[in-house]
Amino acid sequence: MVFVAFDEAERLGTDALRVLGFAEAEAALVLDHLMDCELRGLSYAGLARILSIADRFAHTPMTDAAMRITRESPVSAQLDGADRIGYLVGRRATEIAVEKAQVSGLAVVGANHTWYTGMLSYYAEMITSAGMVAMLASNATPWVAPYGGTEPRFGTNPICFGFPSAGDVPVIWDIGISEIIHAQAVLANRTGRRLPPGSAYDSAGRPTDDPVAALSGAFTSWGGHRGSGLGIVVQLLGVLAGSPAQPPQLEDFGMLVLALRPDLFGSAAEFEQRTVEFAAAVRATRPADPDVAVRMPFERSAAVRAERSAAGGIEVEQAVLDGLRRLAPTA
């Protein structure tokens, strides 16, 4: 790992994205998402993702088509992502949901024809910062085997809930349903590392720790039949948003975004205060391990982000730096 100052990391990321064809404003939006992943300790979904975007464009070039709303009501919208990357489509879907919910109290937006929707908690923060409750889900190419099977049938399928709070940190729970996600296997392959035991099968259905074999096989679902069932639910929520049942490789993902104003049911300020009180009760739980405090969801991410922000830079894999510099040699 190499320490890279923020200005250098941002310059390198921006230049690489511009080389790939993103307009300046689009590159800034994508990079903001990727850097937030880096700051929260999710390096496999950070700058490394630019190399995966380049790989995708090598066989499916970037489109210059515009996103468009194809169906709309006062409380809903269907957003055709026009094969634009999910960092842009997901952000626009979230903006539409917030705008409509501010007027109507709640809104749901389905987005399709997109890929790499990214970290759903990024969008949940947009919604909670507007004082609203969030629910988001995104399906993907089948990379994960259902419980009891060894062939891929659904994506790594994150689902996320967010709640505004009167405290400093909202309550956000964002979780994928596989033992590892696609980006982790891709980064392991780039850096010559093996995968954790029990996280994948090869194409013949044999357990493997080889990332190349896993990428042509299947990842295991998290949480046994419970995680597998949740993965199936998210796959179908993506279908509801407009995707096919099993999207092709890095194409036509479906994403669902729901935003809801707490004042539909009572005082928004009172709800946020009760959220603070509940969080305090959870933290006050007697820990099973005296050295490990009980935390609320998202608190670790917020703390790591603050710590890394204060450090002035991030740690980046040498293989990722080398790849980005090959994309943008003058950076």
pLDDT digits (tens, 9 = 90+) for 145-178: 999 999 999 999 999 999 999 988 999 999 999 9
pLDDT at site 168: 86
Cα–Cα distance for residue pair 17/206, rounded to 1 Å: 37
Cα–Cα distance for residue pair 313/170, rounded to 1 Å: 25
Q: Enter the pTM of the model.
A: 0.96
pLDDT at site 281: 97
Tokens of 289: 């391990």
Domain assignment present for residue 281? The answer is no
Q: How many CB atoms lie within 10 A of CB 91?
A: 19
Residue 101 structural domain: 69-178+221-264
Please report, for the domain that includes residue 37, its CATH number.
1.10.1530.10
pLDDT at site 331: 52
Please check whether residues 107 and 53 belong to one and the same domain.
Answer: no
Report residues of the chain scoring pLDDT below 70: 331
Helix, strand, coil percentages in the chain from 3-state DSSP, rounded to 5: 45, 20, 35
pLDDT at site 329: 83
pLDDT digits (tens, 9 = 90+) for 204-260: 999 999 999 999 999 999 999 999 999 999 999 999 999 999 999 999 999 999 999
Domain assignment present for residue 207? The answer is no
Please check whether residues 12 and 117 belong to one and the same domain.
Answer: no
- Please say whether the beta carbons of 314 and 4 come within 8 A: yes
Domain assignment present for residue 96? The answer is yes
211, 243, 264: which is the final residue of a domain?
A: 264
Q: Specify the pairing of strand 313-316 against strand 144-145.
A: unpaired
Domain assignment present for residue 22? The answer is yes
Domain assignment present for residue 273? The answer is no
pLDDT at site 203: 97
